[in-house]
């Protein structure tokens, strides 16, 4: 099949969505498909390049030329409404080939919808977050989960998040473009049932199929690894947190819980500082260390050296790959009972689930697993057995079946 991936961002930009799109694109190429990625240009990257057989076209949008209004040039902002310059570039690309499938990710789809009629391809839209219903894409308002969209509330939230110049058109665009999405998308692919529910797909009678994030098959390899980063790790057992260094990841909750543990091993925090994120972390308790911006392979090696993982998010994480990476390393995970996390962790079997933001419950679960190494081992083995359902070997064929079914439906309707 000829597949056009349309995504706001792509590596070397780092993030869960970016890694997912890259992994999916490479896997599809390995399975014999012709994959082209259309994404925003970033400083230092060529307009066209090839990534393990994936052809990448980097385009520019009008919003990017607006300087400070646009935001960080390393993470280009795709508005939830058509960007004329991006639409022109996507139109040219759409007409350059006879595509079988156009697979969209995030808000760049809005710049493609005005020229959607130029192609008879099946259009699918993976929902990596809650952007279909939420201007912040997180369903998180005033440091707490949001009860759901309401225009006046969303408008205030957008202005508070992006400023008046970006916030007002963002809120208006996200609302106005709902009709175009309904008409232009053949199938929505939320990465979890949590995303499907949070964006109201069933209530709005929008066609969807849940297809989760996945990890590469080689993460299940037991081959020993060596990396210079490992010298920064403690020389004894440690508890591991991997994620963004911001409040939504529940890092402050974890630090408070860890400070109350008895005879705890070191806490290792591997994270990335994000543009616009907090300038400093909360005070670290003794035996806690922060390691920044590690490569993916080194992180996986750290998981294998840890005794357990902690995912204490306070927002409804859609489908956190970090949980799958810990499971692939055979580690029990203590996670928040929120968002897509309970769809990955089986409470009492592969790890433990606690109420989001509950310091006492988090401390009790961590302490319990630290004191019961046999239980940790059983949970880690169960986690490793379960994670095979979230590997490329399991998930990518489901994506391919979805593509074929949609193409057959469109051919019959033509």
**pLDDT tens profile 109-165:** 999 999 999 999 999 999 999 999 999 999 988 878 888 888 889 999 999 988 888
Q: Does an H or E element contain 189, and which?
A: strand 187-190
Residue 77 vs residues 63, 124, 139: alpha-carbon distances, Å: 7, 21, 19
Residue 278: predicted pLDDT: 45
Length of the chain measured in residues: 414
Residue 194 has pLDDT above 50, yes or no: yes
- Whole-number pLDDT of residue 412: 64
Q: How far is CA 254 from CA 88, 234, 271, 414, in A?
A: 47, 19, 14, 55
Q: In what order do the strands lie in the sheet with 187-190?
A: 48-51, 54-59, 34-40, 2-7, 101-105, 122-127, 187-190
Asked if residue 210 lies in contact with residue 191, where contact means CB atoms within 8 angstroms, the answer is yes
Yes or no: say if 410 and 120 are a contact pair by the CB < 8 Å rule: yes
pLDDT at 201 over 90: yes
pLDDT of res. 279: 47
Measured CA to CA, the distance from residue 296 to residue 221 in angstroms comes to: 15
Is residue 343 scored above 50 in pLDDT?
yes
Task: Return the residue matching tokens 């359902």.
Answer: 389
Percent of the chain with pLDDT strictly greater than 90: 77
| Nearest-angstrom CA–CA distance, 244 and 129 | 16
Q: Which DSSP string do the residues of 71-121 spell out, in sequence order?
A: --TTSPPPPSS--HHHHHHHHHHHTTS--SEEEEEGGGHHHHGGGGGG--S
pLDDT(253) > 80: yes
Mean of per-residue pLDDT scores for the chain: 92
Report yes or no: 334 and 310 within 8 Å, Cβ to Cβ. Answer: yes
Dihedral sign from CA coordinates of 40, 41, 47, 53: negative
In angstroms, the Cα distances linking 272 to 34, 130, 241, 325 are 33, 22, 12, 17
| pLDDT value of position 237 | 94
Top mean-pLDDT range of 94-98, 117-121, 154-158, 383-387: 383-387
Look at residue 66 in the predicted model and tell me its pLDDT: 67
- Minimum mean pLDDT among 80-89, 148-157, 338-347: which range? 148-157
What's the rounded Cα separation, in Å, for the pair 406 and 302?
A: 41
Instruction: Please name each of the domains of the chain with its CATH number.
Output: 2-128+177-214+392-413 (3.40.50.2000), 217-390 (3.40.50.2000)
Mean pLDDT, residues 263-270 taken together: 96
More confident residue, 276 or 152: 152
Place of tokens 């499938």: 101
């Amino acid at each position: 099949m000829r597949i056009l991936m349309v995504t706001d961002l792509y590596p070397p930009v780092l993030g869960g969505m970016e890694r997912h799109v890259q992994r999916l694109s490479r896997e599809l190429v390995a399975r014999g498909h012709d994959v082209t990625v259309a994404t925003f240009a970033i400083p230092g990257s060529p307009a066209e390049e090839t990534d393990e057989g994936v052809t990448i076209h980097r385009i520019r949008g009008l919003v990017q030329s607006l300087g400070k209004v646009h935001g960080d040039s390393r993470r280009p902002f795709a508005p939830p409404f058509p960007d004329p310059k991006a639409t022109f570039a996507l139109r040219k690309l759409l007409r350059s080939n006879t595509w079988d499938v156009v697979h969209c990710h995030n808000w760049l789809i809005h710049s493609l919808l005005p020229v959607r009629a130029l192609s008879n391809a099946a259009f699918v839209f993976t929902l990596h977050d809650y952007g279909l219903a939420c201007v912040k894409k997180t369903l998180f308002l005033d440091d707490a989960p949001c009860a759901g969209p309401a225009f006046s509330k969303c408008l205030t939230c957008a202005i508070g998040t992006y400023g008046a110049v970006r916030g007002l058109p963002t809120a208006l665009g996200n609302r106005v473009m709902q009709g175009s999405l309904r008409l232009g998308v053949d199938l929505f692919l939320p990465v979890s049932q949590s995303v499907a529910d949070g964006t109201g797909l069933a209530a709005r009678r929008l066609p969807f199929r849940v297809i989760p994030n996945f990890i590469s098959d080689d993460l299940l390899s037991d081959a020993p690894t060596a990396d210079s980063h490992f010298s920064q790790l403690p020389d004894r057992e440690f508890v591991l947190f991997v994620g963004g260094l911001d409040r939504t990841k529940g890092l402050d909750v974890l630090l408070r819980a860890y400070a109350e543990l008895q005879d705890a091993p070191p806490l290792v925090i591997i994270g990335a500082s994000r543009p616009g994120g907090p300038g400093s972390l909360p005070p670290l308790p003794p035996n806690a260390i922060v390691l920044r911006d590690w490569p993916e392979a080194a992180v996986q090696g750290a998981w294998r050296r840890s005794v357990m993982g902690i995912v204490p998010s306070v927002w409804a994480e859609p489908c956190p790959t970090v949980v799958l990476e810990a499971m692939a390393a055979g580690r029990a995970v203590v996670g928040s009972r929120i968002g897509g996390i309970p769809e990955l962790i089986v409470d009492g079997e592969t790890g433990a689930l606690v109420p989001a933001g509950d310091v006492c419950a988090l401390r009790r679960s961590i302490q319990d697993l630290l004191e019961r190494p046999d239980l940790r081992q059983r949970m880690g083995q169960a986690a490793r057995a379960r994670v095979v359902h979230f590997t490329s070997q399991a998930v990518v064929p489901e994506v391919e079946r979805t593509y074929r079914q949609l193409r057959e439906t469109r051919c019959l309707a033509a």
